[in-house]
Structure formats: C-alpha cells, structure tokens
Amino acid sequence: MNKIIFASNNINKVVEIRKILEGKYEILTLNEAGLEIDIPEPHDTMELNALEKSMTIYKLKGTSCFAEDSGLEVDALNGEPGVRSARYAGTHGDDARNIEMLLHKMQGIENRNARFRTVISLIENGRNKFFEGICEGTVAYQQKGENGFGYDPIFIPLGLDKTFAECTSEEKNAVSHRKKAINKMIEYMLLKDNISENKK
Ligand code: IMP
C-alpha cells in the first residue's frame, strides 16, 4: 500500500483520517516518520498554515506528504475563532476553555450559523495543491455528547439534530469538513495514479 506522511501528531485527526483512508493509503504520523518536530502555525490563514506544515516536512524528508489546518467559523463573530480555533482562549489545545469562551461570546446572539472548514495542502514532487472541505451547521446553546474533540460538543451539523460529540465516528465522517477535503484529495491522487498506470 502507498505510504504518505501526514504532517501532524494530533491523535484525534490521525484516527479520523486513518479511518477515512483505510485500505487506500498507509498514513505515517510525524513521529512514525522519525520526525520529532512541532511545526508552528504562524499565519493568519488556514491555507498558509497548512502549506507551512507540509513544506517543512517535504524539505526534511523529500517524499509526498500532506498537512491540514481546520477551524470553526462563526458568522455572528465575523468568522472567529477561525484560524485561531485551537488557541481561542489563549492556551493551544485547551478545548474546554475554548468552548467556554465561545459560548460566552455567543450569549444573547440568535444567529448561531457556523461552519467547520478544513484546508489540506498536499505536496508531491515539490508542488503544492490545496483541497477544501466545509461542513455547515450551528453553534448549540450548551455542550452535549462525549465523542470527538475540540468544538464537537457545541457544533450541530446541518441536517442532524445532535452535536458532533453525540455522533458516532461514522456519522461524523459522513458529513465532516475533514472527510470532504480528504475525499477531494483522494479523488485527485487516485485519478493521477490511474493516469500514470495507463501511460505504462
Ligand atoms: P489545528 O488545525 O490543529 O490548528 O486546530 C484546529 C482546531 O479547530 C482544533 O484544535 C479544534 O479546536 C478545532 N477543530 C478542527 N476540526 C475540528 C473538528 O472536527 N471538531 C471539533 N473541533 C475541530
């Protein structure tokens, strides 16, 4: 099976992405690729952060790799927390405080429309290609559910009447931003593999 490095050690994302790519690609995390490195996300767009991560790994390893950056964009907060989703309340990855802060800012706000957005940067032979996935939904008034990570307990995807944290991983993966971006990436990779197979 083809191997590809996923420029992340975020176990939640790795588990989700492995499940989506099961049987198609073997995913290596940074640690598994022998890289003890924490890549910063210094930019103010998801595209540039994803590109920074994938290019850093490509320069170190010289093999195909991809990175993603995701976030929750809330209409009533002009797209916040967006690119700052992981560190909205100050400390990177403090999900509980991030949720608390978001619910606080949304107090009294009726427009709860929001979306999760994922941007993937895939580097092959030194060339970058972006893939985007969007999942529309609303911000709940209170937390519900135990599954998932990040803002899952307060995000209700369009078409369901429960939060992502109340969904099974199959239910979340059927509609999630990450799954949509990965599907686009896979379609592109499989198409390309077919074209080069046919040329042989
Ligand atoms: P980053 O992409 O690692 O910079 O962080 C994205 C942040 O967005 C995560 O720490 C979560 O807070 C949030 N996030 C991204 N995707 C999801 C998701 O599928 N569910 C819940 N929160 C998410």
Beta bridge mates, 156: 138
Query: 166 alpha carbon to ligand 1 midpoint, in Å?
Result: 17
Please give the tally of structural domains in the chain.
1
CA distance 157 to 13: 18
In sequence order, what are the residues at sequence separation of 6 or more whose Cβ sits closer than 8 angstroms to the Cβ of residue 85? 70, 71, 72, 98, 150, 151
Task: Write down how long the chain is.
Answer: 200
Please identify, by atom number, the ligand 1 atom nearest to the C-alpha of residue 49.
4
Which pLDDT score, from 0 to 100, does residue 1 have?
73
Quote the tokens at residue 99: 């949720």
Burial class (CB in 10 A: 0-12, 13-18, 19+), 146: exposed
Q: Verify whether ligand 1 is closer than 6 Å to residue 81 (CB atom).
A: no
Share the mean pLDDT of the chain: 93
Residue 186 has pLDDT above 90, yes or no: no
Give per-residue burial for 148-163: e unless 16+ CB within 10 Å, then b: bbbbbbbbbbeeeeeb
Residue 37: count of CB within 10 angstroms of its CB: 14
Calculate mean pLDDT across residues 113-121: 98
Quote the tokens at residue 136: 């529309």
Record the pTM. 0.91
Q: Verify whether ligand 1 is closer than 6 Å to residue 52 (CB atom).
A: no
Please identify, by atom number, the ligand 1 atom nearest to the C-alpha of residue 88.
12
CA distance 126 to 95: 34
CATH number at residue 25: 3.90.950.10
Residue 136 has pLDDT above 80, yes or no: yes
The set of catalytic residues is 69
Instruction: Summarize pLDDT for 62-105 with one digit per residue, the tens.
Output: 999 999 999 999 999 999 999 999 999 998 889 999 999 999 99
Mutational test site, ligand 1, from 85, 120, 171, max ligand atoms within 8 Å of CB: 85
Q: Which of the four pLDDT bands, split at 50, 70 and 90, describes residue 16?
A: confident
Which pLDDT score, from 0 to 100, does residue 200 have?
67
Calculate mean pLDDT across residues 1-6: 87
Q: Which domain holds residue 19?
A: 3-199
Q: Which of the four pLDDT bands, split at 50, 70 and 90, describes residue 41?
A: confident
Residue 30 has pLDDT above 80, yes or no: yes
Q: Verify whether ligand 1 is closer than 6 Å to residue 70 (CB atom).
A: yes
Quote the tokens at residue 169: 């991983």
Q: Verify whether ligand 1 is closer than 6 Å to residue 152 (CB atom).
A: yes
Instruction: Summarize pLDDT for 144-183 with one digit per residue, the tens.
Output: 999 999 999 999 999 999 999 999 999 999 999 999 999 9
Query: 95 alpha carbon to ligand 1 midpoint, in Å?
Result: 9
Asked whether the beta carbons of 66 and 122 are under 8 A apart, the reply is yes
